[in-house]
Amino acid sequence: TTVKYQLKKSAADVSIQIFDVRGVKMYEKTEKNIKPGTYSLTVNDNNFAAGVYFCTLTVDGEKVTNRMIKQ
């Protein structure tokens, strides 16, 4: 699975978390001092069962969550 995101300004803290529908954290990656630009992150989802997941991108405390479906 590839997660893509874009930063319009520099960020001190960037975190990507993936949760299953029960709220169990399946993946987390944190970066520090990220410059503006477009980024992509490859997540090994071999251990993820088919179903619905939620991906949360947190940039300097501001969160955006999107739904993902693994078939």
Mean pLDDT score across all residues of the chain? 96
Q: Write down the pLDDT at residue 64.
A: 97
Q: Write down the pLDDT at residue 5.
A: 95
Edge to edge, what strands does the sheet with 51-59 contain? Answer: 25-34, 11-20, 51-59, 62-70
Whole-angstrom Cα distance, residue 48 to residue 71?
A: 10
Q: What's the whole-number mean pLDDT along residues 12-34?
A: 97
Instruction: Quote the percentage of the chain above a pLDDT of 70.
Output: 100
Q: What's the whole-number mean pLDDT along residues 10-36?
A: 97
